[in-house]
Amino acid sequence: MTSFPSPIPSIMLFLALTMQFRFGESFSAINSNATPKVKTFHFGAGCFWAPADKIKSMPGIVSTSVGYCGDDTVSPDAAISYEKVCGGRTKLVEAVRVEYDANQLSYEDLLPIFAEVNTAEYGNKRQYSGVIFTSSKEERKIASNYLEENKQVVASVEEMSSNYYKAEKYHQDYWAKWRTRIPLLVGGLFLISKIGGDMSQTIYNFVCYGFIGFTLIERKIDTAVETISARND
């Protein structure tokens, strides 16, 4: 009588991936240095995932989120989605919203940080533009002078739009979540490969396709159930 390997390892892997899949935000770093003197800084630097991730753990940074801004022709009540921005139906830019402690960081301190994480290139479409969004004449002067002195930084200066639209949940803490998911997936697949036989291949395929499927479902659910409302600065 043929004996099959226990499916328990694959079930445990599946549950671990599923839980991390929906609750991965809890693994992201939290800056506990709360302060009442919090200011905001918005910028576009190419794709918003990596810049937000790199900045969030820096001293003086209270929090980061990713979203869209830079187009005041969009109705504040409009349902903005990643698909609309990607499709060119708006002039919105993928933006990072940084809340920082003004006691630890000045506005001038933020500009070299922006330059360090900026991946925008000349010729990028509007969505991936390098933009420093300013909220006052003083900020605009400081940002313009910085770019004048650092011409290698591919960016422009724009007045902050009236609204910042926070992006869908699956975009938030994106790399923090995937740094946990990828090792889980690779480690799990390695263990499954050690089982051997047809059952091993079946479990392997199930986990791979299941992981891809859940990733797509995550995006669909977040897009469907979250109405992205404008946040006025």
Q: What pLDDT, on a 0 to 100 scale, did the predictor assign at position 75? A: 77
The three-class DSSP label of residue 26 is: helix
- DSSP designation for 103: T
Q: Residues with Cβ < 8 Å from 159, sequence gap 6 or more?
A: 133, 134, 135, 140
Please name the residue that has the structure tokens 């240095």.
33
Q: What pLDDT, on a 0 to 100 scale, did the predictor assign at position 21? A: 40
Please indicate, yes or no, if residue 2 is contained in any of the structural domains.
Answer: no
Task: Please indicate, yes or no, whether residues 18 and 96 belong to a single structural domain of this protein.
Answer: no
Distance CA 63, CA 47 (A): 18
The pTM assigned to this predicted structure is 0.66
pLDDT in tens, 140-186: 999 999 999 999 999 999 999 888 999 888 888 765 665 565 666 66
Tokens, residue 177: 């979540």
The three-class DSSP label of residue 152 is: coil
Task: Please indicate, yes or no, whether residues 146 and 179 belong to a single structural domain of this protein.
Answer: no
Query: Can you give the residue range of the structural domain that contains 217?
Result: 8-26+173-227
Mean pLDDT of 5-33: 43
pLDDT in tens, 10-22: 444 444 444 444 3
pLDDT in tens, 189-232: 666 666 666 656 666 566 665 656 656 566 565 555 454 443 44
Q: Quick one: how far is CA 79 from the chain centroid?
A: 19
CATH number of the structural domain spanning residue 51:
3.30.1060.10
Please name the residue that has the structure tokens 């869908």.
168
Which stretches within the chain are classed as H helix? Answer: 8-23, 49-55, 82-86, 107-117, 137-149, 174-193, 197-225
Tokens, residue 8: 């328990």
End residue of a domain, out of 171, 189, 217: 171
Task: Please indicate, yes or no, whether residues 20 and 80 belong to a single structural domain of this protein.
Answer: no
Question: Does residue 25 carry a pLDDT above 90?
Answer: no
Q: What is the torsion angle, in degrees rounded to the nearest 10, for the CA atoms of residue 11, residue 168, residue 173 and residue 176?
A: 30
pLDDT in tens, 68-109: 999 988 876 678 888 899 888 899 999 999 999 999 999 999
Residue 208 annotated to the active site: no
Q: What pLDDT, on a 0 to 100 scale, did the predictor assign at position 191? A: 65
Task: Please indicate, yes or no, whether residues 200 and 166 belong to a single structural domain of this protein.
Answer: no
Which residue is catalytic, options 47, 69, 86, 208? 47
Task: Give the N- to C-terminal CA distance of the chain in Å, as an integer.
Answer: 69
Q: What pLDDT, on a 0 to 100 scale, did the predictor assign at position 1? A: 47
Task: Please indicate, yes or no, whether residues 41 and 140 belong to a single structural domain of this protein.
Answer: yes
Task: Please indicate, yes or no, whether residues 134 and 201 belong to a single structural domain of this protein.
Answer: no
Task: Please indicate, yes or no, whether residues 124 and 68 belong to a single structural domain of this protein.
Answer: yes
Half-sphere exposure of 157 (CA within 13 A, CB side): 17
